[in-house]
């Protein structure tokens, strides 16, 4: 069942991959959700995230650009 997404009002950039999404907020915070296999969400594990979560390892830094590379076999 669809659910209402969180507000993207503070988003500077939204990047979507095949199975993951990243949001860079105006304050530099990076959020991620989606399939976590191979550590693709930057959380230090392979857990899937079903809602946007802050990537804590990037807190305190300044992120200005994010990109996703999709590999198709």
Q: What is the mean pLDDT of each run of 10 residues along the chain (73 residues)?
A: 64 86 86 87 89 84 65 56
State the pLDDT at residue 28.
82
State the pLDDT at residue 60.
77
Contact 8, 24 (CB under 8 A): no
Query: CA 11 to CA 14: how far, in whole Å?
Result: 7
Query: CA 33 to CA 36: how far, in whole Å?
Result: 8
pTM, 2 dp: 0.74
């Amino acid at each position: 069942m669809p659910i209402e997404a969180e507000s993207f009002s503070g988003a500077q950039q939204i990047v979507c991959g095949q199975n993951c999404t990243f949001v860079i907020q105006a304050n530099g915070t990076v959020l991620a959700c989606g399939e976590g296999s191979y550590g693709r969400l930057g959380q230090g594990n392979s857990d899937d995230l079903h809602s946007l979560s802050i990537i804590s390892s990037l807190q305190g830094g300044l992120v200005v650009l994010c990109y996703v590379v999709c590999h198709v076999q």
